[in-house]
Protein backbone atom coordinates (compact mmCIF):
# COMPACT_ATOMS: atom_id res chain seq x y z
CA UNK A 1 0.00 0.00 0.00
CA UNK A 2 1.06 3.51 -0.73
CA UNK A 3 2.50 5.98 1.72
CA UNK A 4 0.22 8.14 3.81
CA UNK A 5 0.25 11.81 2.89
CA UNK A 6 0.24 14.07 5.95
CA UNK A 7 -1.07 17.63 6.03
CA UNK A 8 -0.87 19.20 9.47
CA UNK A 9 -3.34 21.76 10.74
CA UNK A 10 -2.35 25.41 10.96
CA UNK A 11 -4.87 25.97 13.74
CA UNK A 12 -4.45 23.43 16.55
CA UNK A 13 -7.35 23.47 19.00
CA UNK A 14 -7.14 23.91 22.72
CA UNK A 15 -7.21 20.58 24.58
CA UNK A 16 -10.14 19.98 26.92
CA UNK A 17 -9.80 19.68 30.71
CA UNK A 18 -9.73 15.99 31.59
CA UNK A 19 -12.17 16.29 34.45
CA UNK A 20 -14.78 17.73 32.10
CA UNK A 21 -14.63 15.00 29.46
CA UNK A 22 -17.92 13.37 28.53
CA UNK A 23 -18.39 11.03 25.56
CA UNK A 24 -17.84 11.83 21.91
CA UNK A 25 -18.37 15.55 21.52
CA UNK A 26 -14.78 16.82 21.16
CA UNK A 27 -12.60 15.87 18.20
CA UNK A 28 -8.84 16.09 17.76
CA UNK A 29 -6.96 18.17 15.18
CA UNK A 30 -6.47 15.50 12.51
CA UNK A 31 -8.24 12.58 10.88
CA UNK A 32 -7.28 9.74 8.57
CA UNK A 33 -9.11 9.42 5.24
CA UNK A 34 -8.83 7.13 2.21
CA UNK A 35 -11.04 6.44 -0.78
CA UNK A 36 -12.16 3.42 -2.72
CA UNK A 37 -13.11 2.95 -6.33
CA UNK A 38 -13.16 -0.27 -8.35
CA UNK A 39 -10.21 0.81 -10.54
CA UNK A 40 -7.78 1.84 -7.81
CA UNK A 41 -9.09 -0.07 -4.80
CA UNK A 42 -8.39 1.76 -1.53
CA UNK A 43 -6.18 4.71 -2.40
CA UNK A 44 -5.19 8.29 -1.57
CA UNK A 45 -4.50 7.59 2.10
CA UNK A 46 -4.04 10.84 3.97
CA UNK A 47 -3.94 12.39 7.41
CA UNK A 48 -5.48 15.83 7.18
CA UNK A 49 -6.92 18.47 9.51
CA UNK A 50 -10.20 17.33 11.09
CA UNK A 51 -13.04 19.28 9.54
CA UNK A 52 -16.17 19.28 7.46
CA UNK A 53 -16.52 18.33 3.81
CA UNK A 54 -19.24 19.03 1.31
CA UNK A 55 -21.18 16.10 -0.10
CA UNK A 56 -23.89 15.88 -2.73
CA UNK A 57 -27.35 15.32 -1.23
CA UNK A 58 -27.67 12.23 -3.43
CA UNK A 59 -24.79 10.46 -1.64
CA UNK A 60 -25.91 6.85 -1.18
CA UNK A 61 -25.08 6.65 2.52
CA UNK A 62 -27.66 9.37 3.24
CA UNK A 63 -30.43 7.35 1.67
CA UNK A 64 -29.83 3.68 2.31
CA UNK A 65 -27.33 3.65 5.18
CA UNK A 66 -24.67 1.48 3.59
CA UNK A 67 -22.04 2.18 6.23
CA UNK A 68 -20.07 0.48 8.99
CA UNK A 69 -18.05 1.65 11.98
CA UNK A 70 -15.83 0.55 14.84
CA UNK A 71 -14.97 1.73 18.32
CA UNK A 72 -11.53 1.36 19.93
CA UNK A 73 -9.54 3.25 22.54
CA UNK A 74 -6.00 4.56 22.94
CA UNK A 75 -4.57 5.14 26.42
CA UNK A 76 -1.61 6.94 27.91
CA UNK A 77 -0.01 4.33 30.14
CA UNK A 78 1.80 5.01 33.39
CA UNK A 79 5.13 5.25 31.52
CA UNK A 80 3.64 7.99 29.36
CA UNK A 81 3.49 5.73 26.29
CA UNK A 82 0.56 5.79 23.87
CA UNK A 83 -1.06 2.37 23.50
CA UNK A 84 -4.08 1.08 21.58
CA UNK A 85 -6.30 -1.71 22.91
CA UNK A 86 -6.93 -4.59 20.49
CA UNK A 87 -6.82 -2.62 17.20
CA UNK A 88 -6.37 -5.78 15.11
CA UNK A 89 -9.56 -7.27 16.54
CA UNK A 90 -11.38 -4.01 15.82
CA UNK A 91 -10.30 -3.90 12.17
CA UNK A 92 -11.01 -7.61 11.73
CA UNK A 93 -14.53 -6.97 12.98
CA UNK A 94 -14.80 -3.95 10.65
CA UNK A 95 -14.05 -6.32 7.78
CA UNK A 96 -16.73 -8.77 8.95
CA UNK A 97 -19.21 -5.88 9.05
CA UNK A 98 -17.92 -4.83 5.60
CA UNK A 99 -18.76 -8.23 4.17
CA UNK A 100 -22.32 -8.10 5.54
CA UNK A 101 -22.86 -4.60 4.14
CA UNK A 102 -21.22 -5.31 0.72
CA UNK A 103 -18.39 -2.86 1.45
CA UNK A 104 -14.86 -3.61 0.20
CA UNK A 105 -12.53 -4.83 2.94
CA UNK A 106 -9.53 -2.90 4.13
CA UNK A 107 -6.01 -4.22 4.65
CA UNK A 108 -5.84 -4.76 8.41
CA UNK A 109 -2.06 -4.26 8.71
CA UNK A 110 -2.27 -1.03 6.72
CA UNK A 111 -5.19 0.20 8.83
CA UNK A 112 -3.24 -0.51 12.04
CA UNK A 113 -0.20 1.39 10.77
CA UNK A 114 -2.40 4.30 9.61
CA UNK A 115 -4.11 4.38 13.00
CA UNK A 116 -0.77 4.33 14.81
CA UNK A 117 0.50 7.21 12.69
CA UNK A 118 -2.65 9.21 13.42
CA UNK A 119 -2.52 8.49 17.17
CA UNK A 120 1.18 9.35 17.16
CA UNK A 121 0.39 12.79 15.68
CA UNK A 122 -2.40 13.24 18.23
CA UNK A 123 -0.65 11.72 21.25
CA UNK A 124 -1.00 14.94 23.27
CA UNK A 125 -4.78 14.51 22.97
CA UNK A 126 -4.75 11.23 24.90
CA UNK A 127 -6.02 12.00 28.40
CA UNK A 128 -4.19 10.43 31.34
CA UNK A 129 -6.63 10.05 34.21
CA UNK A 130 -8.30 6.75 35.02
CA UNK A 131 -11.63 6.43 33.28
CA UNK A 132 -10.56 8.59 30.33
CA UNK A 133 -9.18 7.56 26.94
CA UNK A 134 -8.85 8.65 23.35
CA UNK A 135 -11.83 7.04 21.63
CA UNK A 136 -11.11 5.89 18.08
CA UNK A 137 -13.92 5.83 15.56
CA UNK A 138 -13.05 4.20 12.21
CA UNK A 139 -15.95 4.19 9.74
CA UNK A 140 -16.77 3.66 6.09
CA UNK A 141 -19.52 5.38 4.08
CA UNK A 142 -20.83 4.68 0.58
CA UNK A 143 -20.19 7.67 -1.67
CA UNK A 144 -21.84 7.06 -5.07
CA UNK A 145 -24.34 9.72 -6.02
CA UNK A 146 -27.39 7.65 -6.84
CA UNK A 147 -30.88 6.88 -5.63
CA UNK A 148 -31.00 3.32 -6.96
CA UNK A 149 -31.02 0.69 -4.22
CA UNK A 150 -27.77 -1.15 -4.91
CA UNK A 151 -24.25 -1.44 -3.57
CA UNK A 152 -22.19 1.69 -4.04
CA UNK A 153 -19.09 1.52 -6.24
CA UNK A 154 -17.19 4.12 -4.27
CA UNK A 155 -16.50 4.50 -0.54
CA UNK A 156 -14.64 6.69 1.92
CA UNK A 157 -12.92 5.38 5.04
CA UNK A 158 -12.28 7.72 7.96
CA UNK A 159 -10.68 7.47 11.37
CA UNK A 160 -11.60 10.24 13.76
CA UNK A 161 -10.50 10.58 17.38
CA UNK A 162 -12.26 11.92 20.44
CA UNK A 163 -10.93 12.32 23.99
CA UNK A 164 -13.58 10.81 26.27
CA UNK A 165 -14.60 10.23 29.86
CA UNK A 166 -17.43 7.95 30.99
CA UNK A 167 -20.07 7.03 28.40
CA UNK A 168 -23.03 7.48 30.73
CA UNK A 169 -24.06 10.65 32.49
CA UNK A 170 -24.17 8.44 35.63
CA UNK A 171 -20.37 8.03 35.29
CA UNK A 172 -19.49 4.57 36.54
CA UNK A 173 -22.51 4.35 38.83
CA UNK A 174 -24.96 1.50 38.14
CA UNK A 175 -27.42 2.18 35.31
CA UNK A 176 -31.16 1.49 35.16
CA UNK A 177 -32.20 -0.78 32.32
CA UNK A 178 -35.63 -1.33 30.81
CA UNK A 179 -36.43 -4.68 29.19
CA UNK A 180 -38.51 -4.09 26.07
CA UNK A 181 -40.92 -6.66 24.66
CA UNK A 182 -42.46 -4.31 22.20
CA UNK A 183 -39.50 -3.55 19.97
CA UNK A 184 -36.64 -5.63 18.59
CA UNK A 185 -33.08 -4.81 17.70
CA UNK A 186 -32.23 -7.51 15.17
CA UNK A 187 -33.76 -10.69 13.84
CA UNK A 188 -31.95 -13.87 12.82
CA UNK A 189 -30.42 -13.37 9.40
CA UNK A 190 -30.40 -9.59 9.88
CA UNK A 191 -27.49 -7.24 10.55
CA UNK A 192 -27.37 -7.62 14.35
CA UNK A 193 -23.80 -8.93 14.40
CA UNK A 194 -22.50 -6.13 12.17
CA UNK A 195 -21.53 -2.71 13.46
CA UNK A 196 -23.68 -0.70 11.10
CA UNK A 197 -25.51 2.57 11.78
CA UNK A 198 -28.92 1.10 10.91
CA UNK A 199 -28.86 -1.08 14.03
CA UNK A 200 -28.41 2.02 16.16
CA UNK A 201 -31.01 4.06 14.26
CA UNK A 202 -33.48 1.22 14.78
CA UNK A 203 -32.76 1.25 18.51
CA UNK A 204 -33.50 4.93 19.12
CA UNK A 205 -37.27 4.77 19.51
CA UNK A 206 -37.23 2.08 22.19
CA UNK A 207 -34.38 3.97 23.88
CA UNK A 208 -36.50 7.13 23.91
CA UNK A 209 -39.45 5.28 25.44
CA UNK A 210 -37.13 3.82 28.11
CA UNK A 211 -35.71 7.29 28.89
CA UNK A 212 -39.21 8.72 29.25
CA UNK A 213 -39.87 6.02 31.83
CA UNK A 214 -36.69 6.98 33.71
CA UNK A 215 -34.28 4.29 32.45
CA UNK A 216 -30.86 4.75 30.86
CA UNK A 217 -31.00 2.07 28.17
CA UNK A 218 -32.99 -0.83 26.79
CA UNK A 219 -32.28 -4.52 27.19
CA UNK A 220 -33.23 -6.27 23.97
CA UNK A 221 -34.78 -9.71 23.81
CA UNK A 222 -34.73 -11.96 20.77
CA UNK A 223 -36.90 -10.64 17.95
CA UNK A 224 -38.87 -13.86 17.47
CA UNK A 225 -40.23 -14.76 20.91
CA UNK A 226 -39.04 -11.89 23.08
CA UNK A 227 -37.79 -14.55 25.43
CA UNK A 228 -33.99 -14.69 25.29
CA UNK A 229 -31.71 -11.85 26.37
CA UNK A 230 -29.63 -10.30 23.57
CA UNK A 231 -27.79 -7.09 24.46
CA UNK A 232 -28.23 -3.64 25.99
CA UNK A 233 -28.37 -0.45 23.85
CA UNK A 234 -24.62 0.04 23.41
CA UNK A 235 -23.27 -2.89 25.41
CA UNK A 236 -23.17 -6.66 25.68
CA UNK A 237 -24.56 -8.01 28.92
CA UNK A 238 -23.32 -10.38 31.63
CA UNK A 239 -25.15 -11.93 34.59
CA UNK A 240 -23.45 -13.40 37.63
CA UNK A 241 -25.72 -16.17 38.76
CA UNK A 242 -24.76 -18.39 41.67
CA UNK A 243 -21.05 -17.61 41.23
CA UNK A 244 -20.97 -18.23 37.46
CA UNK A 245 -20.88 -15.64 34.67
CA UNK A 246 -23.48 -16.07 31.95
CA UNK A 247 -23.64 -14.06 28.74
CA UNK A 248 -25.79 -14.53 25.61
CA UNK A 249 -24.22 -16.73 22.94
CA UNK A 250 -23.01 -15.22 19.66
CA UNK A 251 -24.35 -18.25 17.79
CA UNK A 252 -27.70 -16.62 17.06
CA UNK A 253 -25.87 -14.10 14.86
CA UNK A 254 -28.10 -11.35 16.25
CA UNK A 255 -25.82 -9.68 18.77
CA UNK A 256 -22.65 -7.69 18.43
CA UNK A 257 -19.48 -9.75 19.03
CA UNK A 258 -18.09 -7.20 21.47
CA UNK A 259 -14.34 -6.93 21.92
CA UNK A 260 -14.79 -5.91 25.56
CA UNK A 261 -17.19 -8.88 25.88
CA UNK A 262 -14.41 -11.14 24.63
CA UNK A 263 -11.85 -9.45 26.92
CA UNK A 264 -14.14 -9.97 29.91
CA UNK A 265 -14.66 -13.66 29.08
CA UNK A 266 -10.92 -14.25 28.73
CA UNK A 267 -10.06 -12.26 31.86
CA UNK A 268 -12.82 -13.89 33.92
CA UNK A 269 -11.58 -17.37 32.96
CA UNK A 270 -8.05 -16.37 33.88
CA UNK A 271 -9.30 -15.14 37.25
CA UNK A 272 -10.90 -18.54 37.82
CA UNK A 273 -14.54 -17.84 36.98
CA UNK A 274 -16.71 -20.26 35.11
CA UNK A 275 -18.18 -18.47 32.08
CA UNK A 276 -21.13 -19.74 30.07
CA UNK A 277 -21.98 -18.35 26.63
CA UNK A 278 -25.47 -19.62 26.00
CA UNK A 279 -29.10 -18.71 25.53
CA UNK A 280 -30.42 -17.09 28.69
CA UNK A 281 -34.09 -16.26 29.01
CA UNK A 282 -35.39 -13.20 30.82
CA UNK A 283 -37.49 -15.63 32.91
CA UNK A 284 -34.30 -17.31 34.09
CA UNK A 285 -32.82 -13.91 35.07
CA UNK A 286 -35.85 -12.98 37.16
CA UNK A 287 -36.20 -16.49 38.59
CA UNK A 288 -32.55 -16.46 39.68
CA UNK A 289 -33.24 -13.08 41.35
CA UNK A 290 -36.25 -14.57 43.19
CA UNK A 291 -34.08 -17.45 44.36
CA UNK A 292 -31.43 -15.01 45.64
CA UNK A 293 -28.90 -16.20 43.03
CA UNK A 294 -28.65 -13.13 40.79
CA UNK A 295 -25.52 -11.59 42.24
CA UNK A 296 -24.51 -9.05 39.59
CA UNK A 297 -25.46 -7.70 36.19
CA UNK A 298 -23.14 -5.60 34.07
CA UNK A 299 -22.74 -4.36 30.53
CA UNK A 300 -19.53 -4.32 28.50
CA UNK A 301 -18.47 -2.18 25.57
CA UNK A 302 -15.54 -0.13 24.31
CA UNK A 303 -17.34 3.11 25.11
CA UNK A 304 -19.04 1.89 28.30
CA UNK A 305 -16.08 -0.30 29.51
CA UNK A 306 -17.75 -2.32 32.30
CA UNK A 307 -20.93 -0.68 33.51
CA UNK A 308 -22.84 -2.16 36.41
CA UNK A 309 -26.60 -2.51 36.01
CA UNK A 310 -28.35 -1.47 39.22
CA UNK A 311 -31.97 -1.83 38.18
CA UNK A 312 -33.72 -4.10 35.73
CA UNK A 313 -37.37 -3.48 34.84
CA UNK A 314 -39.46 -6.07 32.99
CA UNK A 315 -43.25 -6.13 32.65
CA UNK A 316 -44.60 -5.00 36.00
CA UNK A 317 -41.47 -5.82 37.95
CA UNK A 318 -38.43 -3.76 38.85
CA UNK A 319 -35.53 -5.44 40.62
CA UNK A 320 -32.58 -3.86 42.39
CA UNK A 321 -29.38 -5.79 41.79
CA UNK A 322 -26.70 -6.01 44.46
CA UNK A 323 -28.42 -3.17 46.35
CA UNK A 324 -27.83 -0.91 43.35
CA UNK A 325 -24.06 -1.03 43.89
CA UNK A 326 -21.21 -2.17 41.64
CA UNK A 327 -20.50 -5.83 42.47
CA UNK A 328 -17.20 -7.43 43.45
CA UNK A 329 -16.80 -9.34 40.20
CA UNK A 330 -17.62 -6.34 37.98
CA UNK A 331 -15.07 -4.35 39.97
CA UNK A 332 -12.45 -7.10 39.76
CA UNK A 333 -12.88 -7.41 35.98
CA UNK A 334 -12.89 -3.62 35.53
CA UNK A 335 -9.71 -3.24 37.61
CA UNK A 336 -7.88 -6.07 35.84
CA UNK A 337 -8.77 -5.01 32.30
CA UNK A 338 -8.11 -1.31 32.88
CA UNK A 339 -4.80 -2.22 34.58
CA UNK A 340 -3.69 -3.73 31.26
CA UNK A 341 -4.96 -0.68 29.37
CA UNK A 342 -3.21 1.85 31.62
CA UNK A 343 -0.14 -0.36 31.88
CA UNK A 344 -0.15 -0.95 35.64
CA UNK A 345 -0.27 -4.72 35.02
CA UNK A 346 1.45 -6.69 32.35
CA UNK A 347 -0.62 -7.83 29.36
CA UNK A 348 -0.63 -11.62 29.14
CA UNK A 349 -3.08 -11.66 26.20
CA UNK A 350 -1.24 -9.52 23.62
CA UNK A 351 -4.05 -6.96 23.61
CA UNK A 352 -1.88 -3.85 23.80
CA UNK A 353 -0.36 -2.34 20.69
CA UNK A 354 2.24 0.37 21.36
CA UNK A 355 2.17 3.41 19.12
Q: Which phi and psi angles does 204 have, rounded to 5°?
A: -65, -40
> Does the protein bind ligand COI through residue 163 (CB under 6 A)?
no
Alpha helix positions (H), 191-309 = 197-212, 259-270, 282-290
Q: Write down the least CB distance from residue 236 to ligand COI, Å.
A: 10
Contact range with ligand COI by CB under 6 A, out of 140-148, 152-160, 236-244, 296-304: 296-304
Residues near 9 by beta carbon (within 8 Å), at least 6 away in sequence: 29, 30, 49, 50
The answer to whether residues 236 and 259 touch, using CB atoms and an 8 Å cutoff, is no
> Does the protein bind ligand COI through residue 90 (CB under 6 A)?
no
Q: Which phi and psi angles does 63 have, rounded to 5°?
A: -100, -40
CB nearer to ligand COI: pick between 71 and 163: 71
CA-closest candidate to residue 319, choices 300, 299, 291: 291
Residues 184-243 that bind ligand COI (CB under 6 A): 200, 234
* Proportion of the chain in helix, strand, coil states, percent, rounded to 5: 25, 30, 45
Q: Which positions from 261 to 280 touch ligand COI by CB under 6 A, shown as an x/- string?
A: --------------------
Contact range with ligand COI by CB under 6 A, out of 178-186, 271-279, 300-308, 323-331: 300-308
Alpha helix positions (H), 252-327 = 259-270, 282-290
CB nearer to ligand COI: pick between 255 and 303: 303
CB nearer to ligand COI: pick between 45 and 186: 186
CA-closest candidate to residue 115, choices 97, 88, 155: 88
Which of residues 21, 47, 71, 254 is near ligand COI by CB under 6 A? Answer: 71
Q: Write down the least CB distance from residue 5 to ligand COI, Å.
A: 28
Q: Write down the least CB distance from residue 351 to ligand COI, Å.
A: 15
Distance CA(298)–CA(283), nearest Å, equals 18
Contact range with ligand COI by CB under 6 A, out of 106-114, 141-149, 177-185, 295-303: 295-303
Q: Write down the least CB distance from residue 153 to ligand COI, Å.
A: 27
> Does the protein bind ligand COI through residue 301 (CB under 6 A)?
yes
Distance CA(314)–CA(298), nearest Å, equals 16
Q: Write down the least CB distance from residue 110 to ligand COI, Å.
A: 22
Other CB atoms within 10 Å distance of the CB of residue 96: 15
Q: Write down the least CB distance from residue 264 to ligand COI, Å.
A: 13
Burial of residue 139, with CB atoms counted within 10 A of its CB: 0-12 exposed, 13-18 middle, 19 or more buried: buried
Which of residues 97, 196, 263, 302 is near ligand COI by CB under 6 A? Answer: 302
CB nearer to ligand COI: pick between 180 and 234: 234
- Report helix angle 108-121 to 87-100, nearest 10: 130
Q: Write down the least CB distance from residue 256 to ligand COI, Å.
A: 8
CB nearer to ligand COI: pick between 110 and 200: 200
CA-closest candidate to residue 43, choices 120, 128, 110: 110
Contact range with ligand COI by CB under 6 A, out of 171-179, 184-192, 270-278, 301-309: 301-309
CB nearer to ligand COI: pick between 174 and 301: 301
The answer to whether residues 206 and 219 touch, using CB atoms and an 8 Å cutoff, is no
The answer to whether residues 354 and 83 touch, using CB atoms and an 8 Å cutoff, is yes
Q: Residues interacting with ligand COI, by CB under 6 A?
A: 71, 200, 234, 301-303
Amino acid sequence: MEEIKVIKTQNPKEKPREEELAFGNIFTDHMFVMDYNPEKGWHDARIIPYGSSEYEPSLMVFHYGQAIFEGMKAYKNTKGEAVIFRPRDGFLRLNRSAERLCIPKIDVDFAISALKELVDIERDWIPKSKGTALYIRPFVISTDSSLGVRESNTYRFFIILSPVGAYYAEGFKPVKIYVTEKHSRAAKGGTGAAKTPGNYAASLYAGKVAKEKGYTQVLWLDACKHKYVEEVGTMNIFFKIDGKLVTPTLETGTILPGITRDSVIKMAKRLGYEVEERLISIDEVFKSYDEGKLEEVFGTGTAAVISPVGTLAWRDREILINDGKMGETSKELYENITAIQYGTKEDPFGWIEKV
